[in-house]
Amino acid sequence: MCADQGAGGRGTHRHSRRAALRPRRRSPRAGSWFFDETAGGGIVLDQMIHDLDQALWLAGDVSQVYAVQGPPSIDGIVPAQVTAHVVLTHTSGALSRIQGTWGAKGMAFRTSADIAGTDGVLAIDSAIDTAVVVDLPASGDADGYLPPAAHAESPYTTQLREFAEAFAGGSLPRVTAADGIRAVALAEAAAESIRTGLAIDVDLAAFVEFETVGVNA
């Protein structure tokens, strides 16, 4: 179900949620550079940028971004436990609402989404749509910052293979440099909205495709 006509009709509304244990152990601890918005980017650029990227893929270009965060950052330092909400207004008229959370100890990584279209609603939830459920006492070494390992091939492996094949003379990767830049532009607009309390207009048409040096040269 996308901005273009699909199985669920034309997409009109998307709500996604992503929650994870606040970064610890293998990631920087509270008070380090990771929680400094000028160095680590905060929850929007660290975690929610993936959902912003998906929103672009599913619903197309964005014209306006509005975001809030609670608790607020103090002197540019993001709280260790925090939730942010981002609302994207797409040029197609569709809306995407994205929620991201860095939670307390014991929170498992979880992502879910509801996508409403003209002909129906599609809902997914990583806590429900799983072939294996583990219900054991929490381990002191548990870390829900990253998604749990899956039986399918890692998307990181798939991505790296496409880049390797492209540099070896194969087809261009499905994800381009411009895709990454557009997602960063949305994340930066969301961060500006959180700081100012204003809705931020964006023009993603300004970001064109880039020639990749060394690929298919």
pLDDT in tens, 24-44: 544 555 567 888 888 888 899
- Cα separation, 103 vs 63, in Å, equals 30
Look at residue 204 in the predicted model and tell me its pLDDT.
87
56 phi, psi to nearest 5 deg: -65, -45
**For the packed helices 177-196 and 49-59, what is the interaxial angle rounded to 10 degrees?**
120
Average pLDDT, the chain: 79
Look at residue 28 in the predicted model and tell me its pLDDT.
54
pTM, rounded to two decimals? 0.76
52 phi, psi to nearest 5 deg: -65, -40
3-class DSSP state for residue 114? strand
pLDDT in tens, 183-193: 999 999 999 99
H or E, element range at 151: none
Q: Is the pLDDT assigned to residue 2 strictly greater than 50?
A: no
- Cα separation, 34 vs 102, in Å, equals 13
Q: Is the pLDDT assigned to residue 133 strictly greater than 80?
A: no
Question: Could you tell me the two tokens for 190?
Answer: 């969301």
- Please confirm whether the linkage preceding 71 is cis (ω < 30° from 0): yes
35 phi, psi to nearest 5 deg: -95, 0
Short-list 176, 200, 178, CA closest to 188: 200
Q: Is the pLDDT assigned to residue 47 strictly greater than 50?
A: yes
**What torsion, rounded to 10 degrees, do the Cα atoms 181, 15, 48, 138 define?**
-150
Amino acid in the structure at residue 63: S
For 22-94, strand residue ranges (E) read 62-70, 82-90
Cβ-Cβ contacts under 8 Å for 12 (sequence gap 6 or more): 93, 94, 95, 116, 117, 118
